[in-house]
Structure 1
Amino acid sequence: MAERMLQFVSLPQAQPEKRAVEERRQDFGEIYRAFSVERAEMQASRCSQCGVPFCSVHCPLGNNIPDWLKLTAENRLEEAYEVSSATNTFPEICGRICPQDRLCEGNCVIQKGFSSVTIGAVEKFITETAFENGWVKPNLPSSEREESIGVVGAGPAGLAAAERLRALGYQVHVYDRHDRVGGLMVYGIPSFKLEKHVLDRRHRLMEEQGVVFHLSTPIGAGAGETALDTLRARHDAVFVATGVYKTREVKLPGSGLSGIVQALDFLTASNRRGYREAPGDDAVLHAGGKNVVVIGGGDTAMDCVRTSIRQGAKSVTCLYRRDRANMPGSMQEVKNAEEEGVRFTWLAAPEAFLGDGAVAGVRAHRMRLSLPDATGRQSVEPMPESAFTVEAELVVEALGFEPEDLPALWDAPDLDVTKWGTLKVAPGRFQTSLPGVFAGGDIVRGASLVVWAIRDGRDAAAEIHDHLTAKAGVEREMAE
């Protein structure tokens, strides 16, 4: 047991042991081994317990990180879990996939000179210990309410809202177009970052709580029982948390060649293979034996390059138009990818796809950083006469996601959207232009982090509860 905190002066930072590169290249298992109890206590004891905890300030959920680090250091693990789960609906997920280097750990006050506390690894350790010891229970309501709520989307925002609302006693029904719970977490994120049993376990827990799931159930104008108008009539409130699934494409010469695929299609096919479900176009969406080029610099691009390595690609190259310092993806993911054999070509942008019927290469040109734009970020411009070609039999476009046209898909012209196509809500609120319809997560924010979606789901649940409570009060007054 740690005798006191502030051990960063004598204990170096230590992440959980990483599986050897050659071992982890062969499968889709998570790459980090679990902390031992002793190691978790030691690493938690490095926390400085600072007066202004910047780790909490920069956590979208406002997690009470110093508190559960101290409890872990003192081997009070059940209490640590209670504190952690009080603000985070899914700490076992955030501990695995949050970009801690850009959030809590990146703002740890001891990082200058001593390296930050390994917050994410300790968070994962606390929650897995809680599951192993049976401390994680379904959050059952103390009393039932008659009102029902429809949640559209079983991703992190929808699940977080559903869990909160069900705990308050509402009758919660979750609708999702896919056949499994998790949204992009189940089909968009590879298992080497988030093993799927973690999502299946949470799904079962929410069913035990009383949340009703309607999977393989798309919402749409012609969907009959699940048209938006039908859901509004069936439920006292509807929360839209569909996420953003429309992928951005590169419109360049040769874009129609076979072998040029979208990141989500590629990752979904890979994850379905993990469930022993081979997609119909398996050969096109598999990197085995191919020279692969991934275009993009975010976390999705990192997922694609590392998936390609595990599928046995001949070579994997990532083209990104900015430099390493300006890359939006997690630096830890870049490091893991480099260890596994991915080659990064910085300051490079594609200008054409080459091939006859099927892609055979990508012609790109060198870029250089220029003056900052209106946001303060340096713009990029092509360098003259700098073209070069990268051999490729498979090109994966990982350029981000945009919202689908929900008003058109759902025949809901009164559902207001922003100029970016996201659903319009009042700043800091979740009510849409349709009475009783709320929205949150990526469909409001645009493509963002899982932790922000969880925050939106929790906050939206609180707003829906206030809305229905006020409505019930008005109805009682009118009845009297």
Structure 2
Amino acid sequence: MANTMLKFVSVPQRQPEKRTADARRADFDEIYEDYSPQAAGEQASRCSQCGVPFCSVHCPLGNNIPDWLMLTAQGRLEEAYGVSSATNSFPEICGRICPQDRLCEGNCVIEPGFESVTIGAVERYITDTAFEKGWVQPIRPMRERAQSVGIVGAGPGGLAAAAQLREQGFQVHVYDRYDRVGGLLVYGIPGFKLEKDIVARRHALLEESGVVFHLGQGVGSGADDLPFEVLRSRHHAVLIATGVYKSREIGGPGAGLAGIERALDYLTASNRRSLGDTLPPEAEALDAQGKAVVVLGGGDTAMDCLRTAIRQGARSVTCVYRRDKANMPGSAREVKNAEEEGVHFEWLAAPEAFLGAAAVTGVRATRMKLGLPDASGRQSVEPLEGSSFTLEADLVIKALGFDPEPLPQLWNQPGLEVSRWGTLKVGQKDFMTSLPGVFAAGDIVRGASLVVWAIRDGRDAAASIHQWIEANETASAVAEQG
């Protein structure tokens, strides 16, 4: 191992080549080039193979990162893919969009003085190579089971659960109100972070594995919706993995002016345009070309909006965030990419009013200062008197986070219990809701979070569903014998 690994002292960190900012601004293609086999092995060899791998500890999936780094350094890529995919349903997606600087790479023990191992880029390289070489095969269960499971939501949590349940031989049906599989992976995350054929490739693989998709099929009480009770009657168990899509709003003078838009509406319109879809007139207007754009928020969704506006040819693009750069919730890597592409950041600033008659023409903001830590441990913010300033704005995008939709009301299920935040209540260990045989996972349980956490929850919920169905099957068999 010493000959193959521990090369962080002699081999510098090198991320995959990044296209120039000028080139990136011209399209929605992914910004990173692929590693060459030599570069991937060389970067993997920087791993120190430490006794307590904090990269794995801080990975929501508990990926065996040192193992597949060592296998990559040794040129044993098929084995590396086997180890990587054993704990991660979609490593090619996580390798692209996980905030590694806050998770695995941010906790790499060689970081002080040597820079971390490029874990995400190697993960992406391993799985892309596995697809190219034909190592990624459809799921073929050891035996088929008669029981079926219905999954509401074709996002990362629902898809991860579908794959795990299909491995066990269950008949899996996935229902989604949208016309494509992927949820926010397709409609929320821009192509420059995740090209859509990557998601479509997984969709095709799951279909070939026997997962049945019911796209364009909403659940609820609408005219074209499938009533939830009917869905429950079709399946032995149901998993709710709808995510959270209700955008948080902002008040203040002028908050209702035209030109103030929700982040998800804006990103969905952009992604649909890139996919070649015909947009309705109201969505066609969600275009930043030639406009002065102001984005409110400091998370990854805000970064997606900022960088999308740049690519659409905005006249200017400004991010307004109430805390400083060190306290922002988004990925530091995404902020750097945005700065390179021409985004201007107004740190320690908060909007207080929106200017304009019928449509927005500006945002009046005030400077903020950091105060004492609040209950969450983050520093509170306080306005500075007399510090107001105005930003020109033809388009304001609210990227303030997401809340859950009121599923008990929408689905006419008053017995479906929710928390005080509106998320679904589930058992701490079994993911079951207050309705027997109905489970929930992902953002609809934990609130708006990372894709990697949705994958983890989907996998864990699938294991609980498997155990619950088997326990019921055993109980029924005992009752019949008795």
For structure 1, the 5+ residue unaligned runs are none
Correspondences of 1:391-470 after superposition (within 5 Å):
391-470=392-471
| CA deviation vs aligned residue, 1:113-161 (integer Å, no higher than 9, x gap) | 1000000000000000000000000121111000010000000000000
AA partner of residue 93 (structure 1): I
Shift of 1:222: 4.1
1:471 aligns with 2:472: yes
Q: Structure 2: how far apart are the matches of 1:61 and 1:440?
A: 14
AA partner of residue 155 (structure 1): G
Q: Secondary structure at the match of 1:316?
A: strand
- Counterpart for residue 135 of structure 1: 135
Shift of 1:250: 0.7
Contact kept? 1:324, 1:346, Cα under 8 Å: yes
Correspondences of 1:336-375 after superposition (within 5 Å):
336-375=337-376
Contact kept? 2:245, 2:405, Cα under 8 Å: yes
| CA deviation vs aligned residue, 1:418-438 (integer Å, no higher than 9, x gap) | 000000012233000000000
- Counterpart for residue 385 of structure 2: 384
Q: Provide closer, same or farther for how the CA distance between residues 225 and 346 of structure 1 changes in structure 2, counting only shifts above 3 A.
A: closer
- Counterpart for residue 98 of structure 2: 98
Shift of 1:375: 1.9
Contact kept? 1:295, 1:319, Cα under 8 Å: yes
- Counterpart for residue 218 of structure 2: 218
AA partner of residue 310 (structure 1): R
- Counterpart for residue 183 of structure 1: 183
Q: Structure 1: how far apart are the matches of 2:429 and 2:189?
A: 28
My pick for the range that moved more, 38-47 or 221-230, is 221-230
Shift of 1:279: 1.9
My pick for the range that moved more, 279-288 or 34-43, is 279-288
Contact kept? 1:2, 1:41, Cα under 8 Å: no
AA partner of residue 231 (structure 1): L
Q: Secondary structure at the match of 1:279?
A: coil
Q: Structure 2: how far apart are the matches of 1:249 and 1:2?
A: 55
Shift of 1:464: 0.3
Contact kept? 1:2, 1:42, Cα under 8 Å: no
AA partner of residue 83 (structure 2): V
Shift of 1:282: 4.3
AA partner of residue 262 (structure 1): R
AA partner of residue 9 (structure 1): V
Correspondences of 1:260-271 after superposition (within 5 Å):
260-271=260-271
Q: Secondary structure at the match of 2:384?
A: strand
Contact kept? 1:320, 1:349, Cα under 8 Å: yes
Shift of 1:224: 7.1
- Counterpart for residue 227 of structure 1: 227
Q: Structure 2: how far apart are the matches of 1:151 and 1:343?
A: 42
1:41 aligns with 2:41: yes
- Counterpart for residue 246 of structure 1: 246
Q: Structure 1: how far apart are the matches of 2:464 and 2:152?
A: 17
Q: Structure 2: how far apart are the matches of 1:213 and 1:290?
A: 40
TM-score, normalisation: structure 2:
0.98
AA partner of residue 266 (structure 1): Y
Contact kept? 2:217, 2:225, Cα under 8 Å: no
Q: Structure 1: how far apart are the matches of 2:303 and 2:2?
A: 37
Correspondences of 1:135-154 after superposition (within 5 Å):
135-154=135-154
- Counterpart for residue 329 of structure 1: 330
Q: Structure 2: how far apart are the matches of 1:113 and 1:192?
A: 31
Q: Secondary structure at the match of 1:459?
A: helix
Q: Provide closer, same or farther for how the CA distance between residues 262 and 11 of structure 1 changes in structure 2, counting only shifts above 3 A.
A: same
Contact kept? 2:269, 2:284, Cα under 8 Å: no
Contact kept? 1:350, 1:364, Cα under 8 Å: yes
AA partner of residue 77 (structure 2): L
Q: Provide closer, same or farther for how the CA distance between residues 252 and 92 of structure 1 changes in structure 2, counting only shifts above 3 A.
A: same
Q: Structure 2: how far apart are the matches of 1:85 and 1:27?
A: 31
1:300 aligns with 2:293: no
Q: Structure 1: how far apart are the matches of 2:52 and 2:120?
A: 19
Q: Structure 1: how far apart are the matches of 2:210 and 2:15?
A: 37
For structure 2, the 5+ residue unaligned runs are none
Q: Structure 2: how far apart are the matches of 1:216 and 1:299?
A: 27
